[in-house]
A and B are shown apart, each in its own frame.
Chain A
Amino acid sequence: MHFDFTEDELAFQDAARRVSADVLKANAARYDDTRDFCAESLRALGELGFWSMNLPSEYGGVDISSIGMSLAVEEIAYHCAATCSSLTAHFLATDSVLVGGTEEQKQALLPQCATGEKLGAFALTEPGAGSNPAEMRTKAVRCEQGWHITGTKHYITNGAFADFLVVYAKTDEDLGHRGISAFLVDRDTAGLAFSQPEKTLGLRGSHIYEIGIDCVVPESVLLGKEGAGFATAMEVLDRGRVEVAAMSVGISRAAYDDTLAWSQERVVSGKPLCRHQGIQWMLAEMHTQLEAAKLVTYKAAAARDSGQRFSLESAVAKLFASEAAAKVTDQAVQIHGGYGYIGDLPIERYYRDARITRIFEGTSEIQKIIIGRAITA
């Protein structure tokens, strides 16, 4: 097993670290405070090519390994997890096109998604279908002009800010998950009703919406083959879970770094916090959680790069890294005491931002189901 990153991977990490520290950091607290959409930070990443990390060069991408991409995602999340979430949601949309689209659709859309001109959203989840997408009720029925799509999607990151949505809908209600297809729906299509952004616990700069859909779209927006939507979504989520793991690592690392520094400065009972054994043990636990989370994440990314199936590895990474983020950010608050509970420091934001990583793109419980099935198959 090799533990060295390539020159390209390190260059991407470095590029992400710089823009994250210079641009994302400056906006992060404001987005959290005002709940404004992370437009500026997201745009800055787009201009520098970060929207293209999941794409091969034939579609305007940069041919970076999944490890390099994970390192960059980690750096972005380190200073602004909200921006990171909007970026990775964009990857879910463009991954859908990459995995399920026709050659023509990929050529037509992906290059603009790579340069930051077009932002995507991934519309799979519904009020009654989260962990169980096969039970979705949004349906698409053939009509004279193409397809008539009706239904409701929920928790759709980027929603109203996106230029296009990848909408998953049932095209055959008798076929269960094999009856699901995906559609490339332009944001300005008549019949899309966006809610106000949801009032979220964390990632406040990354808006999520409920979307009411009653629209007619042309035949050409069917993504790839009819009935292939579920398989596309599952592969896209396998890919996306590596990024959620990387994002969790980024949040954990921010909380850990700040807490370690704090523990060396803050003096209690005549000595710095870090000289108290009780605190040292907590720091040791945080450090170990973080190290282990990094390793499973990089391993999942390496598995993805290998071209083999990586559902197991990505589920392991997502489960462990998100649970680690919960523990690490919780201990960060604990070690900071009252200072960790108020908004003057970013500690309470890390704590809130980390919470969703155990829920979105498959809850921890769903990851355990995936892992359990894989290891007992």
Chain B
Amino acid sequence: MKVLAAVKRVIDYNVKIRVKPDNSDVDLTNVKMALNPFCEIAVEEAVRLKEKGVASEIVAVTVGPKAAQEQLRTALALGADRAIHVETDERVESLGAAKALARLVEEEQPGLVILGKQAIDTDNNQTGQMLAALTGLPQGTFASEVKVEGETLQVTREIDGGLQTVELSLPAIVTTDLRLNEPRYAKLPDIMKAKKKPMDVKSPAELGIEVASKVKLLKVEPPAERQGGVKVGSVDELVDKLKNEAKVIS
């Protein structure tokens, strides 16, 4: 079975995010970028499926600027067999990415597409679901366990208040939650070998799609700075402040 693993280039989770002074966007100058952690879990799961003999080939894919090839290379170092880069300098949002992925699903005919449930940059949590809608394939989102049994896939999903297990027919779309697995570290020899693995570069035009977002980004603001706390002298003063200043009780 061929597995398509979608990955996204995002700001490294260790980096403290800064907003540009003109509030037009997040400042990416000299900021360390990395593979989205949920996508890393997706790649890891694909590699584990291959190690179990369930998957035969892993194709890592991304939609983004030329620099996003670094993240494809990370996926290749972790165990993907080849990569496809849909190169664009447009600001790509969930729908654009899903359209590109849908075209790749058509071309590659994978048995399973595995994606992170969301990217830690804009936290949209949409691409997997949109891809399922565009391709008409069944979806198992927020997976904390994935089991392939013959032609079906059992996905344990993390939902409010517990776990839900769904059975999907293959081919299918899976999005990964945090507890699906603990991704391995890339080994140095594999990092070097990743360079020699094939990487196809395609333009959105070649795929016959447009990826540019139709949503206009108006303003990006950092969260309000936390104010320092105060010491209250009595319970009455506390209740008064909660009522009249914080307005959290009435």
Instruction: Enumerate chain A interface residues (CB-CB to B < 8 A).
Output: 7-8, 10-12, 14-15, 18-19, 21-22, 47-50, 52-53, 62-64
Count, A-B residue pairs, CB within 8 A: 43
Residues of A within 8 A of B190 (CB): 49
Given A15-B186, A48-B187, A62-B191: 12 more A-B contacts, CB < 8 Å: A8-B191, A11-B70, A11-B77, A11-B186, A12-B188, A15-B185, A18-B185, A48-B186, A48-B188, A49-B188, A49-B190, A52-B189
Q: Mark B186-221, 1 if CB is under 8 A from A, else 0.
A: 111111100100000000000000000000000000
Q: Are B188 and A7 in contact (CB under 8 A)?
A: no
Between A and B, 6 residue pairs with Cβ closer than 8 Å are A11-B70, A11-B73, A49-B190, A52-B189, A62-B192, A64-B188
Residues of B within 8 A of A21 (CB): 14
Q: Which of B168-193 contact A (CB under 8 A)?
A: 185-192
Q: Which residue of A lies closest to B32 (CB)?
A: A14
Identify the interface centre among A7, A11, A18, A64: most chain B CB within 10 Å of its CB.
A11
Residues of B within 8 A of A8 (CB): 191-192, 195
Q: Are B70 and A52 in contact (CB under 8 A)?
A: no
Q: Are A64 and B192 in contact (CB under 8 A)?
A: yes
Least CB distance, A253 to chain B, in whole angstroms: 15
Question: How many B residues are at the interface, by size bracket?
Answer: 10 to 19
Q: Which of B221-248 contact A (CB under 8 A)?
A: none
Contact for A62 among B70, B74, B189, CB less than 8 A:
B189
State in angstroms the CA–CA spacing of A62 and B77 once bound together. Answer: 13
Contact for B70 among A7, A12, A19, A64, CB less than 8 A:
A7
Instruction: Given A7-B73, A11-B77, check contact A50 B188 (CB 8 Å).
Output: yes
Q: Which residue of B lies closest to A72 (CB)?
A: B188
State in angstroms the CA–CA spacing of A47 and B185 once bound together. Answer: 10
Q: Are B77 and A49 in contact (CB under 8 A)?
A: no
Report, nearest first, the 10 A-B pairs whose CB atoms are least far apart: A49-B188, A49-B187, A11-B191, A62-B188, A48-B187, A49-B189, A62-B192, A48-B185, A19-B185, A62-B189
Q: Which residue of A lies closest to B70 (CB)?
A: A7
Identify the interface centre among A10, A15, A50: most chain B CB within 10 Å of its CB.
A15
Q: Which of B56-104 contact A (CB under 8 A)?
A: 70, 73-74, 77
Q: Which residue of A lies closest to B69 (CB)?
A: A7
Residues of B within 8 A of A53 (CB): 188
Residues of A within 8 A of B186 (CB): 11, 15, 48
State in angstroms the CA–CA spacing of A63 and B192 once bound together. Answer: 8
Q: Which residue of B lies closest to A10 (CB)?
A: B70
State in angstroms the CA–CA spacing of A7 and B73 once bound together. Answer: 10
State in angstroms the CA–CA spacing of A49 and B14 once bound together. Answer: 24
Q: Are B191 and A15 in contact (CB under 8 A)?
A: yes
State in angstroms the CA–CA spacing of A186 and B191 once bound together. Answer: 32
Residues of B within 8 A of A12 (CB): 188, 191
Q: Which residue of B lies closest to A52 (CB)?
A: B188
Least CB distance, A139 to chain B, in whole angstroms: 39
Residues of B within 8 A of A63 (CB): 192
Q: Which residue of B lies closest to A60 (CB)?
A: B189
State in angstroms the CA–CA spacing of A23 and B187 once bound together. Answer: 15
Residues of A within 8 A of B77 (CB): 11
Least CB distance, B83 to chain A, in whole angstroms: 14
Residues of B within 8 A of A10 (CB): 70
State in angstroms the CA–CA spacing of A47 and B188 once bound together. Answer: 9
State in angstroms the CA–CA spacing of A14 and B194 once bound together. Answer: 15
Least CB distance, B16 to chain A, in whole angstroms: 10
Identify the interface centre among B186, B190, B195: most chain A CB within 10 Å of its CB.
B186
Residues of A within 8 A of B189 (CB): 49, 52, 62
Identify the interface centre among A21, A47, A49, A52: most chain B CB within 10 Å of its CB.
A49
State in angstroms the CA–CA spacing of A337 and B171 once bound together. Answer: 62
Least CB distance, A2 to chain B, in whole angstroms: 17
State in angstroms the CA–CA spacing of A21 and B185 once bound together. Answer: 12
State in angstroms the CA–CA spacing of A200 and B157 once bound together. Answer: 52
Residues of B within 8 A of A11 (CB): 70, 73-74, 77, 186, 191
State in angstroms the CA–CA spacing of A78 and B195 once bound together. Answer: 28
State in angstroms the CA–CA spacing of A8 and B186 once bound together. Answer: 13
State in angstroms the CA–CA spacing of A48 and B70 once bound together. Answer: 19
Least CB distance, A84 to chain B, in whole angstroms: 16
Identify the interface centre among B70, B186, B188: most chain A CB within 10 Å of its CB.
B188
State in angstroms the CA–CA spacing of A15 and B34 once bound together. Answer: 11
Residues of B within 8 A of A49 (CB): 187-190
State in angstroms the CA–CA spacing of A353 and B48 once bound together. Answer: 40
Residues of B within 8 A of A62 (CB): 188-189, 191-192
Residues of A within 8 A of B187 (CB): 47-49
Residues of B within 8 A of A22 (CB): 185
Q: Which residue of B lies closest to A19 (CB)?
A: B185
Identify the interface centre among B73, B190, B192: most chain A CB within 10 Å of its CB.
B192
State in angstroms the CA–CA spacing of A120 and B210 once bound together. Answer: 57
Residues of B within 8 A of A7 (CB): 70, 73
Q: Which residue of B lies closest to A22 (CB)?
A: B185
Least CB distance, B75 to chain A, in whole angstroms: 12
Least CB distance, B241 to chain A, in whole angstroms: 24
State in angstroms the CA–CA spacing of A225 and B124 once bound together. Answer: 65
Least CB distance, B167 to chain A, in whole angstroms: 35
